[in-house]
Amino acid sequence: MADRISSKKSGKASVHITGMTCTTCAATIEKALSETPGVEQANVNFASEKASVEYDPTKVDLAKIKNTISQMGYGVATKKSLFPVGGMTCASCVARVEDALSSVPGVISASVNLASEKATVEYVEGTELADLRRAVRNAGYELGREIQALEDVTTAAQREIRALRNRLIIAIALGVAIMVIGFGPSFVGKPYLLWALATPVQFWAGWRFYRGAWGALRHKTADMNTLIAVGTSAAYFYSVVAVLFPGLFTTGGLEPHLYFETSALIIALILLGRFLEARARGQTSEAIKKLIGMQPKTALVIRDG
């Protein structure tokens, strides 16, 4: 089984992006895409969560564009489907089918298994399945109807919501524990316990902020992730230094103040906001899809009474 990436004479794609929280996020992604070699024009719309990209397939492909967005700390919602393939007899047939599928505009990658006679195709929203069948037919093979939708835009959105929910639960639980212990009576090892509780919140629950900030830094820009990462890191690492070297901060015989609860609760509250936003956006999207589905497929026209 092999994996090939699409290439074609001209490239234009509409990519659904997940994880954006403000117009600055959209501007950051747009700047990163525009700086990618081979991308001729990029426009990111925050409201629709979509990026319209025009590119030169001889220099860049959709897989690279997807990777660029992922490195910025955002997700790309693609569709992945499984199709039966007829007429294959050898490994060279596999290569030809993969090349045919990969040549279709909108296809990110195509992987064909000779033993199972099935093709796994990853493509962006808006790609016509009829174009996939036509390309395979022109190569001398037959692509059957979709057996299974392995992933779609809705699945990707639901996965993002689940990931946010899991990180939110941990962040809130540990954040509350840190606050309760922090305001409670002192005991031996208390600073180290607070440090241990704050670390998973900072670097696991808050990992997406660091990833987004690093992606923005690589493209010489800043966004909300940068602000969150810098702010919470300042509180966290100040507290770490205070735990390891309390003598640097001791004045009048008092212990240095720790801010682990500050960084943890900030991360928890921001994750809460993003979770609620993602869930509301998903519900709105589903409502719009149901509304569109209510449109009549046929219409009866009576002329002249």
Q: Can you give the pTM of this predicted structure?
A: 0.70
| 144 and 162, same domain (yes or no) | no
Q: Answer yes or no: do 66 and 165 share one domain.
A: no
Q: How far apart are CA 178 and CA 191, in angstroms?
A: 10
Residue 287: which region, alpha, beta or left (left: phi > 0; alpha: psi -120 to 50)? alpha
Asked if residue 254 belongs to a domain, the reply is yes
Residue 109, pLDDT score: 86
Q: The domain spanning residue 71 has which CATH number?
A: 3.30.70.100
Residue 300 belongs to a domain: no
Would 35 be classed as within a structural domain? Answer: yes
Residue 25 pLDDT exceeds 80: yes
Digit-coded pLDDT (tens) for 186-223:
888 999 999 999 999 999 999 989 988 888 888 788 88
Last residue of a domain, one of 136, 151, 166: 151
**Distance, C-alpha 295 to centroid of its chain:** 31
On whether both 88 and 198 belong to a single domain, the answer is: no
Q: Of 126, 111, 118, 149, nearest to 3 (Cα)?
A: 111
Q: Which helix (H) or strand (E) holds 148?
A: strand 148-151
Residues 176 and 246 in one domain: yes
What is the Cα–Cα distance from 120 to 6, expressed in whole angstroms?
Answer: 13
Statement to judge: residues 64 and 36 lie in one domain: yes
Rounded Cα–Cα distance for residues 215 and 286 (Å): 31
Q: Where is the domain boundary, 108, 135, 151? A: 151
3-state secondary structure of 16: strand
Structural domains of the chain, count: 2
Quote the tokens at residue 165.
């929910």
The answer as to whether 89 is a domain residue is yes
| Residue 153 pLDDT level (bands cut at 50, 70, 90) | low
Residue 111, C-beta contacts closer than 8 angstroms, at least 6 positions apart: 1, 2, 3, 4, 98, 119, 120, 121
Identify whether residues 8 and 147 lie together within a single domain.
yes
113 and 15, same structural domain?
yes
Same domain, 201 and 241: yes
Residue 302 counted as domain residue = no
Q: Strands 11-18 and 75-77: what pairing?
A: antiparallel
> Residue type at 32?
A
Q: Are 15 and 66 in contact (CB under 8 A)?
A: yes
Q: Are residues 120 and 163 in the same domain?
A: no
Question: Which residues span the domain enclosing 42?
Answer: 2-151
Tell the burial category of 104 from Cβ atoms under 10 Å away from its Cβ (0-12, 13-18, 19+). Answer: buried
In the structure, what pLDDT confidence band is assigned to residue 177 with cuts at 50, 70 and 90? very high
On whether residue 293 sits in a domain, the answer given is no
Structural Rg of the chain based on CA atoms: 25
Q: Give the separation between CA 103 and CA 94, rounded to whole angstroms.
A: 14
135 and 234 in a single domain? The answer is no
144 and 160 share a domain? Answer: no
Confidence of residue 2 (pLDDT cuts 50, 70, 90): very low
In tens, the pLDDT along 40-99 reads 889 998 877 888 888 888 888 888 888 888 888 888 888 888 899 988 888 888 889 998
Choosing from 132, 151, 170, the residue where a domain stops is: 151
The verdict on 19 and 142 lying in the same domain is yes
Would you say 135 and 38 are in contact if contact means Cβ atoms under 8 Å apart?
no
